[in-house]
Structures are given as structure tokens and as C-alpha cells.
């Protein structure tokens, strides 16, 4: 997995590529969750994400909960059809803001 972070004003964007699995999830969580302390919007660009495991889903759920608790927002964009199917099957499409 590769992650690129950029910030513009109150928005932090993460471009995530590769596999967000049990090996990569802790590293991603360590970069991702602190962004809610500095941003009103945290956006994930998932165009190059090829796989997400339950560990990756857990990090996204933690992000959504952190956003709500801090009064900020999280959105996901450029979600591939394969990843969208995982979100649909797990019910995450109803929880996450996919634009």
C-alpha cells in the first residue's frame, strides 16, 4: 500500500493505492486518524485501491467515528466498482460518505 497525503486549507486528502489489508492497516491508521485533529474534511481518493480487507474496513469505520466525534467530515471518492461491491456487501455504503 502507498499513501500520499496533501493538505489545502481545512481539507486533508489521502490518495491510497494498492492493498489496504491487515499488514497495511496499522500504518494507514497511524497516518489517517490524526488528520481529523487538523482538518474539517478528510477525503480519501481510492481510485488506485485494489483490495480492502476487514482490517482496512475497520480503519475506515474508525475514521468515520472520529470525524463525527470531532465535528468534522470524511468522504471517499473515486471508489472502484470492486471496492464499492465490498462496501455494499458489508453495509459500509450506508455508513460512509461516498461521492
Q: What is the pLDDT of residue 70?
A: 95
Short-list 98, 59, 57, CA closest to 77: 98
Cα 17 from Cα 15, distance rounded (Å): 7
- Sketch out the chain's domains with CATH numbers: 2-95 (3.30.750.24)
* Single pTM value for the model: 0.94
> Would you say 65 and 36 are in contact if contact means Cβ atoms under 8 Å apart?
no
Mean pLDDT (the chain) is 97
Query: Could you read off the pLDDT of 22-53 as tens digits, one per residue?
Result: 999 999 999 999 999 989 999 999 999 999 99
Looking at residue 66, its pLDDT comes to 98
What's the whole-number mean pLDDT along residues 84-88? Answer: 97
Give the model's pLDDT for residue 11.
Answer: 97
Amino acid at each position: 500500500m502507498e499513501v500520499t497525503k496533501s493538505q489545502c486549507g481545512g481539507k486533508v486528502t489521502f490518495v491510497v493505492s494498492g492493498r489496504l489489508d491487515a499488514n497495511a492497516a496499522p500504518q494507514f491508521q497511524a497516518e489517517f486518524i490524526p488528520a481529523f485533529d487538523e482538518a474539517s474534511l478528510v477525503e480519501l481518493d481510492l481510485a488506485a485501491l485494489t483490495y480492502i480487507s476487514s482490517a482496512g474496513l475497520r480503519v475506515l469505520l474508525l475514521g468515520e467515528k472520529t470525524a463525527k466525534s470531532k465535528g468534522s467530515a470524511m468522504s471517499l471518492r473515486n471508489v472502484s466498482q470492486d471496492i464499492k461491491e465490498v462496501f455494499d456487501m458489508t453495509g459500509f455504503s450506508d455508513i460512509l460518505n461516498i461521492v
